[in-house]
Each structure stands twice: as C-alpha cells, then as structure tokens.
Structure 1
Amino acid sequence: MAQTVRVNVPRTILDWVISIGAEDHLSENQRHDIDAWKQGAKRPTVSQLHTISNRLHVPFGYFFMDEPIDDTPPIYAKRTVGSQQPQGRPSRDLVDTIDQMTAIQDWARQDRIDNEGTRLEQVGSRTINDDSNLIAKDIRRALKIDEHWYRESDLHEPAKAFKLLRERAEGTGILIMQNGVVGNNTHRPLDPKEFRAFALIDPYAPLIFINRTDEPETARLFSLVHELAHVWLGTDELYNDTALPTGVTRLEQVCNEVAAAMLLPDGDFLKAWQSFPDDTTLDKRMKELKACFPVSPTALALHALKHKLISQETFQKCNQAAQIWSEETDNQEHSGGNYYSTKLSRFDSRFLERMASSVAEGRTTYLDAYRLTGTNGDTFTKLMKRALS
C-alpha cells in the first residue's frame, strides 16, 4: 500500500502564503490544519497543499519556495487612489487578471514585432504639459471621429458609444480587453471597488483592461476614454478612483479632462444647457441632457458645477440621487447569453484574428493559444470560427 507523501513547509512560508491569499475562502477545518502545520504538530500532504492552493488562489509552487517573494504587479504602485499606502495588498483576483493580461500583451508585442515591426506612434506622443483639448483632438483623429461624434444616430447611449470607441481604438493597434471575472471562473468576480480599469503601456502593444462589473455602462465608457489618455501620455495606471475627481494628481487631472473633452465638450454642454427656458426644473434638464451625452448624471452635475450653473449644495443633491440610481442598477446580470458571444466580448477582436493566423502558420502552438485564450481544443476552434465570421 502506497504511503501518503507529507512535506515540510516552513512557518514563514505558510504565514506568507496565507497573508497574500484569499484567506476568507478557507474552511474552519483547513484553518485548524494550517495552525497544526505551523506548530509542527503535523505535516501537510501534497494533496492538502493543492487544495489550500486552490482555495487561496495562490500558485502551488509557492509552498516550496525557500523564502517569501513580493509578487505584487508593478502597476499596483500606479493606482489612482492609495498608491502612497505600501501596506495595501492587491487581491489574488487582481494579481491573476494582470498576469493574464501581461501574458497576452507579451504575445501581441512579439507578434507585432515579427510582422509589422513598427511602434505605435500614439503611445507617449503627448505629455501632461499639453493642453487636454489637444490630446482629445489627437485621440479623436486616431479613432476617426469628430468632436460631435456622439450626436450620430444613438451614440448618446453609453453601450453603443463604448462599442464604437472600443472598435476604433482596437483598429489603431491598442488592445482592449474586458471581463467581470478572473479568466473563465464565474466564482471569482472582479471587485469594482478595487479597480475599474488598468492600462499596461508598451510601444508595440499597449493594453487597456476594463472591469466589466463596474456599473453603470457610463462608468466603463469613462474608464475606456480615461485609459486612452494614459496611452497617449505613455503612463501605466491602475484606475481605482470611485470618488469624485477632486484632489487627484496632475496626471489624473489631465486624463479626466481629456475624458470630459471626448464625452462632454464644454461648448456642446453649455449650448445644450442654455437652450432650456429659465424656469426649466433641474430634474428635467438632467433627463434631457442625459439623452444628449453618453455620460452619467453625476458627470453632468459636476460639469454644471464647474461652470457655476448650479451651487455646491445642488450638486450634492444631484450626486446623491445619482448614487441611488447607480446602486439600483449595480451588478446587473449580464451573463446568460451565448457562451461564445460572452467569450468574444472579453477579447480584443484583432488579437483573436492575429492568434488564428499565427496558429495556422505554425508560429504559435495550440497549447500556447489555449493558455492565452482560456480554451481547449474544441472551444478554441469554435471561438476562432466565430471571431473570423
């Protein structure tokens, strides 16, 4: 009869792994086992370590390291809020998502170098000393839209505006990815309070990731444009600011200004505001303005406050009402659709096209393709057929 294999794991390693993992996922019995391992009363089996690894969402190999390491992604230091708090730790959900996106970016970078061989001229083409309106103009030019693009058809609707800007940005070579869970794991939803989006800057393959759980749609649209500004400025960022855009760095101020210039230009906003009779109620103004611009009620109220069209007190009331509305629509169910449609929506369309070509030409192995797309033999083939149809 085969003996159960037990291993020695130093207490320092156990303490470290627990500290960086999803400790709240451990059962009471598992906590007791870990305490016994720390005290030397027992030794864990390989099977037990596998189970704990899965519960904590920490790599199995970490248990066999000689000493703890810092696996915090460098971009975590670039978060909008809290970057001056070194004691903060990213969740394993965020760490794993960044790792997945970095792997995709590395592949896309090499693919571009091997094929086009040229850098994207927009990456880092502007600085924070440039006028935000000029940066917005550059972005619109690259995306082939004009200053009043949201007036077309029904582009004032955030979902349709997001789709257009995403497609145009992908067309310039910027990778746009989105997801609401870690990979395919629906039991690991991403927390919008931890991050709303992030930008990984690279001259060949800049990547923007949008947290799909961030509600409402206007929030994701703002995040997309905000991160596009970071691409033009050539700066990585982990966007986690869920508060009002006040008291931020000059860099974030510029990115917010660029987003406003793209989504809510001063000229159009003031013209629309002044078109109402003087006795028009604020509620009516906001509802009608919401049908003109792809932004949130809070953004409209903030813009009105900026131009001294409403008081600070009125703005606070508008913001509170908007927060209630946002909470009512928060975490709406977006799943339940076709598996492949959901899967396709997570990936940059041109990334999938390039992947299909690379696999067909023998430049990328099927195993690497499965790993990068989170698929297997059957689902990869079907996903590629849909992506290319």
Structure 2
Amino acid sequence: MPRVNPDVLKWARETAGLDLDEAAIKLGIKDLRAISGADRLAVLESGDDEPSRTLLLKMTQQYRRPLLTFYLPAPPRQAERGEDFRTLPEEYGRRDAALVDVLLRDVRARQEMVRSLLEVEDEASTLPFVGSFDMTGGAKQLAGEIAATLGFNLAQFRRGGRNDAFAYLRDLVERQGVFVLLIGNLGSHHSVLDVELFRGFALADPVSPFVIINDQDSEAAWSFTLLHELAHIWIGRTGISGSNPSTPIEVFCNDVAGQILMPDGEALREDALRGAGTDQVMARIRQLADAWQVSHSAVAYKLFRGRIIDRETWIEVSGIFRGQWLQNRAAARERNKENENGPNYYVVRRHRLGNRLVGLSARMLAEGALSPSAAGRILGVKPTNVYALTGASSGGASGRAA
C-alpha cells in the first residue's frame, strides 16, 4: 500500500494559501491536551504520522487537489498559468497568489476537458484568429480586425443598457468559438478574488480558447475586459491581467479595447476637458460612460491615452470613481442580505458559464458523449445539478465520456 508523501501534504497546503492554523481549522483537526491542531498537522507534514483516509479526503476538498496527488513521489511543478501581466500592490501576499493559482489550475483543467471532448467528437477545428496578429501592426489595426471578425456594431452595442451591451458582445465572441466565463471566487464568498488581484485571464488555445472575467468587477467594466482579453488571444499571449496597465502588452490590449468601444474620433471631441477641474472632468466622464455603455474608469483611461486629461487627473478621478463603486457595492450587498428571494441558482450559474459552454455540455449530455460527472467538472457543479443547469434530457445519456 503506497504511503502519503508528507512533502506533498505541505506543498498542497501552502499552494492552497493556508498556514498551519488555518488549515487545521478547515480540516477539523482539533487541539488535544498537549498539542494544538496546527502542531498535529505539522506532525503529519513531517512524516512522523500518516493521515487517516477521512482526513485525506478532507484535504482533497480544502486543498483542491485530486486524491492521487498526495501519493506522488514529489510535489508537482507549478501549473502553467501563461504569462503574468499584472503589477500587484504590495499588500497582496502568498495566500492571494495561491488563490489565483487554484483558479487558473481549475480553468486549465476545464479547458483541457473541453478541447478533448471536441477532439473525440470530431468537432475540433483550428480558429484562424488565435495568434494571428503581430503587435507591431498597431492597436488600431487589431481593433479593426477584431470588430470585423465579430461583426461588431457599435450603435447596437450602445442601444440598450450595460447588461444588454455585454450580452450582445459576449454572444458575438462566443459565436466565433471563444468560451467566455464570469468567475470571481473559488466557490464561496470566503475565496473572493479582488479586481486588484486579477481582472481577466486569456487562454489562447487555437481550438478552445477561454476568456475569464472577474465578476467582482463592475458590470460596466466587463465589456472592456472581454475585448482586452480577446486582444490577448489574437496576439497568442496566454496570461493573467490585473487592473494596473503598466506593461506594454497591457497598454496595447487596453488600447485595442478602447478603440473598439470608444473610437479615437469621439474622445478627441472632448477638448473642453483639457485643463478642466476635477469636478468638471468627473461630470463629463459620467455622461460619456452612460452614452458609451462602459465604465467610468474606461472613459477616464481613454481620455488619458488620448491626451485629453493628464496622468495626475486620470489617477485622481479613477481613484474617486473606484471608491464610490466600492461603497455602492457594499451597500448593494447589505440590501441583498435582507432580500430572501434572491436570483435563481441555475439562472445565475448559466449566466456565469456562458451560452457556449452550457450549450456544448447540454448537447454532449443528450448525445451520450459526456457523463454527468464529466459535465459537472467542466461546468463546476455537482453531477446531480448538470441536467437542471443545462436543460438536457437524462434519457439519452450513455456516459461515454468519463
């Protein structure tokens, strides 16, 4: 009978972002008379004792690792996350990095399952736009290529509210073969991923590219983030993006998104804001954000990049808008706590997963190409929930895909 590798136990805990005290609490390891729960866990990690089967199963849940991982001869290398395009504030530490790694590992696993499914079912085809663009061509040219490929109509995008605008854009993107998911935590409010920690993630796979948008961000910002990550796919650069565009690639991808949603000609008409006071700039940004169906921060950034406002003004107004949004979000959450009749679980889930991923899973379930357990892993839900979530009939499933 193979033994659990104590080095892997320690590695799994640390990469889950937990110290000994936190892990002991989550695993239910209680203090005894002469030894604390944390010390008892440390004994297991030193190899002086072996975890019980029950405790090991708890570790698979809390550390988010398959059971077989704990029997590996050595801790595996860090999962491939692509490039890291973020510039993080100093206050974000080891636990935050671990949470992001868990998210990216989960997304990678789901994406690989989707690709394998498409290949097995002979539905895999190489998407010509993935990695097709060289940045030397310029942001404006790429913006034009993306808009043309999507069939994007700016007037239609701006016709409804921001939710309608994002739904319209997302549908165009998914029709081209890109899976667009909204993920802002690891399954509970205890694992929320702040926007400063990660705003978006692009997986530039030529068969099944994924875009992840942090839904903890303002809904008004989702369209801009989606186009930013789409630019990453066009230039073939898999990676994670933050909220501070301080690298050349991030500036480039922001300029692409800004050119599509707020063409240069419109921004240059705002000459009256040159040298204007903060209150005037903020009032005009509010008007433009409403008219353009984008966030205040996106408008402020566009005006800064167009040299309508200077860096100091951009930083100042962005900080004020950010603070106001955080206050409004906190107030909205308090109101939602008092509302017993929240949104339907399956409606929310489908919205976060996107029509393309839900639709593919439903069709494969109905055809028997996908088992409920495999569908649950792809969709991030329990196998018992997949039929209600997808609307697929359970009668035709033969479970060919494990």
TM-score, normalized by the shorter chain, greater than 0.5: yes
Q: Deviations over 1:208-251 (max 9, x none)?
A: 111212x2223332211100111111220111x222x24x13x2
Q: How does 1:120-131 map to 2 (within 5 A)?
A: 120-131=127-138
Counterpart amino acid of residue 304 in structure 1: L
Give the match for residue 211 of structure 2. 208
Q: How does 1:327-366 map to 2 (within 5 A)?
A: 327-330=326-329, 333=333, 336-366=342-372
Q: How does 1:104-253 map to 2 (within 5 A)?
A: 104-113=110-119, 114-151=121-158, 153-154=159-160, 157-182=161-186, 184-185=187-188, 187-213=190-216, 215-239=217-241, 241-243=242-244, 245-246=245-246, 248-249=247-248, 251-253=249-251
Counterpart amino acid of residue 288 in structure 1: Q
Are 1:196 and 1:220, in contact at CA under 8 Å, matched by a contact in 2?
Answer: no
Please say which of residues 367-376 and 190-199 is displaced more in the overlay: 367-376
Give the match for residue 47 of structure 1. 54
Report the secondary structure of 1:23's partner residue: coil
Give the match for residue 265 of structure 1. 263
Give the match for residue 286 of structure 1. 285
Please say which of residues 35-44 and 112-121 is displaced more in the overlay: 35-44
Report the secondary structure of 2:229's partner residue: helix
Change beyond 3 A, Cα 1:338–1:310 = same
TM-fit CA distance, 1:132: 1.1
Give the match for residue 321 of structure 1. 320
TM-fit CA distance, 1:92: 4.8
Are 1:21 and 1:92, in contact at CA under 8 Å, matched by a contact in 2?
Answer: yes
Report the secondary structure of 1:177's partner residue: strand
Report the secondary structure of 1:176's partner residue: strand
TM-fit CA distance, 1:135: 1.0
Give the match for residue 23 of structure 1. 18
Change beyond 3 A, Cα 1:386–1:272 = farther
Change beyond 3 A, Cα 1:16–1:136 = same
Change beyond 3 A, Cα 1:147–1:43 = closer
How many residue pairs were aligned? 367
Are 1:80 and 1:237, in contact at CA under 8 Å, matched by a contact in 2?
Answer: no
Give the match for residue 28 of structure 2. none
- 1:373 lines up with 2:372 in the alignment: no
Q: Deviations over 1:245-271 (max 9, x none)?
A: 24x13x222211101101221101223
TM-fit CA distance, 1:147: 4.7
Q: How does 1:30-41 map to 2 (within 5 A)?
A: 30-37=37-44
Report the secondary structure of 2:135's partner residue: coil
Counterpart amino acid of residue 208 in structure 2: A
Give the match for residue 61 of structure 1. 68
Segments of 5+ residues of structure 1 without an aligned counterpart are none
Give the match for residue 304 of structure 1. 303
Q: Could you tell me the percent identity over the aligned residues?
A: 24
Report the secondary structure of 1:120's partner residue: coil
Counterpart amino acid of residue 20 in structure 1: T
Counterpart amino acid of residue 250 in structure 2: E
Report the secondary structure of 1:75's partner residue: coil
Change beyond 3 A, Cα 1:130–1:17 = same
Counterpart amino acid of residue 366 in structure 2: A
How far apart are the structure 1 equivalents of 2:269 and 2:353? 38
Q: Deviations over 1:261-312 (max 9, x none)?
A: 0122110122355599x99933432232222223333333333333443344
Counterpart amino acid of residue 346 in structure 1: R
TM-score, normalised on structure 2?
Answer: 0.79
Give the match for residue 399 of structure 2. none
Report the secondary structure of 2:206's partner residue: coil
Change beyond 3 A, Cα 1:386–1:48 = closer
Segments of 5+ residues of structure 2 without an aligned counterpart are 26-30, 394-402
Give the match for residue 254 of structure 2. 256
Change beyond 3 A, Cα 1:104–1:16 = closer
Are 1:57 and 1:92, in contact at CA under 8 Å, matched by a contact in 2?
Answer: no
How far apart are the structure 1 equivalents of 2:3 and 2:361? 43
Report the secondary structure of 1:281's partner residue: helix
Please say which of residues 108-117 and 362-371 is displaced more in the overlay: 108-117
Change beyond 3 A, Cα 1:189–1:285 = closer
TM-fit CA distance, 1:42: 4.7
